[in-house]
Amino acid sequence: MHKLLIADSSEPFTDALKAVFENDFDLQICQDGETAQEMLLSFQPDVLILNLMLPFKDGLTVLQESAHKPKVILAVCPYVNTYIEQAAVNLGVQYIMLMPTVNALRVRLMDMISTTITPKEDLQGQTVVHLHILNFLTHLDGYQQLCVGIPIYFRNPGMRLSKELYPAIAAHFGLPDPRTVEHSIRKAIASAWKRRSAVVWAKYFPKKPDGTIPCPTNKEFICHIAELLEQ
């Protein structure tokens, strides 16, 4: 599990990010620059969400003085000029977002992780990244079941969902009826589809001639995401 440090002085913002990421990261939060610098060394995160305008010590100074540089650094800032942008890039920041929404930040960060540090052998980790990019709600049972089921399908391509995959997922979670798995996964996919970003989903699923992307069936979704995984 990747380690994520969130350094931002806005408690509502960090609370919202915690709710989004806590199930899939070893997560720590701090709200000032001095603490952020200490935690970079003690916690040694793989991923950093850093507000450049932290109290006590600004984000650029934190990065400049830190002995540990995370593999993925996403910076947040209320404004940016050429100097800030260049200084941030020189200090290892891969992307700067101007006061983003939680959802926009989540999509951007998971995309950065998928191209930078997600191990190819970690099939479940890759699945988590794809589901986050597609805006799945992590508290739904179907999300957790997809995290387990898609890697199973990847290792056993062509397996029948109702007769083989759903029972395997049900057994993993100790569920007595595999039909609940089918329902939960269908609900999770429908929820993500309703909340979808058209641009993001267009990268995964083909559009119809009228430009729309229909909600994929369980089989269509599982098969397609499994095709994107790498051993």
pLDDT digits (tens, 9 = 90+) for 194-205: 988 887 888 889
Residue range 41-52, pLDDT digits in tens: 889 999 999 999
Q: How many angstroms separate the CA atoms of 7 and 123, rounded?
A: 29
Check residues 208 and 115 and name the one with the higher pLDDT. 208
Mean pLDDT of 16-29: 90
**Residues with Cβ < 8 Å from 135, sequence gap 6 or more?**
103, 106, 107, 192, 195, 196, 197, 200
Q: Would you say 79 and 51 are in contact if contact means Cβ atoms under 8 Å apart? A: no
Helix, strand, or coil here: 74? strand
Check residues 129 and 162 and name the one with the higher pLDDT. 162
Whole-number average pLDDT of the chain? 90
Q: What pLDDT shows up at residue 119? A: 56
Does 66 score more than 90 pLDDT? no
DSSP H or E run through 3: strand 3-7
Specify the amino acid at residue 153: Y
Mean pLDDT of 2-25: 91
Residue range 86-138, pLDDT digits in tens: 899 889 999 999 888 888 898 888 888 877 775 555 788 889 888 988 889 88
Q: What percent of the chain has pLDDT over 70?
A: 98
> What domains can you pick out in the chain, each with its CATH number?
3-116 (3.40.50.2300), 123-228 (1.10.10.10)
